[in-house]
Structure 1
């Protein structure tokens, strides 16, 4: 009988990422880069990082287990989804790490509440007005510490006292140069509007005319993010929203499509960021997981614990899987249906960010996750 209660530290949707991705960016005077890719809709951690070595896996997952067996075996217990080929390669190069049986403190199954708690890290949904990424920005050097959201609305994770403006690629025809020049002249003497206009123009130039809806979603999104994070004036903190993870029906194909998009995005970021990849940390996480057993429509329903992913050229725990694995036997499930959470999302982020930025973990916890119990 394998002891499932252990810490494992081993050699660790929809359409085009259902990927109509929305982006949020923030700049600060640091050469380090941080990207948070949120999987909105509750991604199935058991499908992403399948515990194929668990004796109960095959019977618990039924038809959903077959696809997992063709994925890259990362160790004696876990296999990565077969669509995540680039991520598997990065894992072998110690530029990827995975957490499993992870969750925030939220234990209900509402997407909106779960996402809000994941992004604000409060004690209850909508209990805080600021997000943990905005609180992180407050700890970084103040010079050029502006924040920029490529989205129609600022995500909750980036809301707070550090100023955040927005930018979204327009589907309308470009304004001609003469009009842009006249607007710039109109704003030139305005103390508030002039810097905002200059910032917007600089962001437009950095975007390089890349259309995130063109071509494969993951590649286009990765190029957009890398372009906006390049150079001395580029963003240093980014948030990317992806959808298509709410796989109630026909999960196998939909999950594979969404994961392929994320895998392409990660691979593109690695390539396009070049030398900056060695100073980049990418976090991929979701609001909660999905049920262990499939439903009657070859999908899964809202669950509890899931998996999270870290990527980067200088990842301190690269090539490792971190999981206090609870097991998949019926008696080991949370409320008799879900993967039991054994690791808090906040603990993972505190460890990852403190290592990445060289910030004392206790200080980071007090500032970025003040409501997280010590």
Structure 2
């Protein structure tokens, strides 16, 4: 029996996400499809009014108390909307018709609890805790078996991927608590070893899975995007994935926090695209949050929990270069409950439309499979098979 050396173990761990390459039962058989579908969740309720700012709305500046500077220098998407200036790479994707934004969008959830809102977003239910499995796991049942291999890039399998279909995981389950002091001492062991020093640095850069994307100047986010791209871009890799991100709850100092968060997300998407290589042409990435934030800025320079936000579709399979919005306006009388951006687009419909278009499935079947009991209709024309 051969021995696994320290050098082989750490190299395998870094290349495979410190656990993925060592998973029992991981198949290396080539998948039968070239289509990739990736769901990136923004936990914490991301402010869609800053991400894609309605600068063409005459009431926007007043609604934000004159504080609409977040959009200064951002890419002008159309006469109504401007992209946040931190989203430089997404702006390029938009110009290449590989990015599409759906504004004033929301799930059926209308209260403002993170836990309940995320449960509705991930299970696809009409209300919290009605469904016990996730829409992304149910999506696997709509695909041929050889095409339905999924990967959760998260500390544990997220609700959206839980269900009867098997899911591979990165950093699955509770991990032993490792102190920063121990990690620093281990790092010093590898100094001077040209191979191991580089491998250890790569491994360390992917430790923060669901943390703030702005942490470490976005380097963690970029490393995670690169890792995901390589795993999904490999001929033997999975074709479906979910990536967790956190840090979107911007009650205080939103302008600076959101700038870092969006730079991290932008870097992650760019690294994901590079890692996927030619497979990017057959990829759809959905980015969504549980709900939006208030229109008005609060007394600490942040925003509070709201309702409608923005969803993003990115990738070579996306019919991009558009903002889809039945814009409700920002006059006080037009706000939901007098405080929030009013929802006019169904997030369930957007997800169903993206899945149906991307995999060439019948839209009504997708709605029924992903969102049982939902009155939503699939938004068509979002992606191509």
Q: Which of 46, 51, 64 is residue 54 of structure 2 equivalent to? A: 51
SS at match of 1:129: coil
Shift, 1:144, TM fit: 6.8
Is contact 1:210–1:220 with CA below 8 Å preserved after alignment? no
Match of 2:206 in 1: 212
Structure 2 residue 72 is the aligned partner of structure 1 residue 64: no
SS at match of 2:50: helix
SS at match of 1:143: helix
Shift, 1:66, TM fit: 1.5
Structure 2 residue 73 is the aligned partner of structure 1 residue 75: no
Q: Return the structure number with greater relative CO, CA threshold 8 A, min gap 6.
A: 1
What's the TM-score once normalised by structure 2's chain length? 0.78
1:62 to 1:69, Cα distance in 2 relative to 1, 3 A: farther
Shift, 1:146, TM fit: 4.3
Distance in 2, matches of 1:42 and 1:86, equals 22
Distance in 2, matches of 1:269 and 1:148, equals 15
Q: Which of 253, 263, 267 is residue 250 of structure 1 equivalent to? A: 253
Is contact 2:71–2:85 with CA below 8 Å preserved after alignment? yes
Shift, 1:222, TM fit: 0.8
Is contact 1:60–1:329 with CA below 8 Å preserved after alignment? yes
SS at match of 1:364: helix
Distance in 2, matches of 1:86 and 1:151, equals 24
Deviations 1:40-85 (A, max 9, x none): 0000000000000101001111253022132111110000000000
Match of 2:355 in 1: 353
Match of 2:93 in 1: 90
Match of 1:194 in 2: none
SS at match of 2:67: helix
Match of 2:303 in 1: 300
Distance in 1, matches of 2:316 and 2:344, equals 27
Which segments of structure 1 move beyond 3 Å, counting only runs of 4 or more? 26-29, 144-148, 169-174, 208-211
Shift, 1:209, TM fit: 5.3
Q: Which of 325, 328, 331 is residue 326 of structure 1 equivalent to? A: 328
> Which piece of structure 1 moves more, 142-151 or 159-168?
142-151
Match of 1:266 in 2: 269
Residues 129-208 of structure 1: pairs in structure 2 closer than 5 A: 129-143=132-146, 145-168=148-171
Residues 105-120 of structure 1: pairs in structure 2 closer than 5 A: 105-120=108-123
Distance in 2, matches of 1:304 and 1:124, equals 15
Q: Which of 312, 317, 322 is residue 314 of structure 1 equivalent to? A: 317
Deviations 1:201-226 (A, max 9, x none): xxxxxxx9584148712210111101
What's the TM-score once normalised by structure 1's chain length? 0.80
Structure 2 residue 234 is the aligned partner of structure 1 residue 231: yes
1:70 to 1:62, Cα distance in 2 relative to 1, 3 A: farther
Give the number of equivalent residue pairs: 318
Is contact 2:154–2:243 with CA below 8 Å preserved after alignment? no
Is contact 2:153–2:244 with CA below 8 Å preserved after alignment? no
Match of 2:286 in 1: 283
> Which piece of structure 1 moves more, 295-304 or 68-77?
68-77
Is contact 1:104–1:118 with CA below 8 Å preserved after alignment? yes
Distance in 1, matches of 2:280 and 2:90, equals 14
Match of 2:243 in 1: 240
Deviations 1:238-286 (A, max 9, x none): 1111111100000000011101111111111112211100000001110
Distance in 2, matches of 1:40 and 1:158, equals 15
Structure 1 regions of 5+ residues with no counterpart?
Answer: 1-22, 175-207
SS at match of 1:87: helix
Structure 2 regions of 5+ residues with no counterpart?
Answer: 1-19, 21-25, 184-201, 209-215, 377-385
SS at match of 1:135: helix
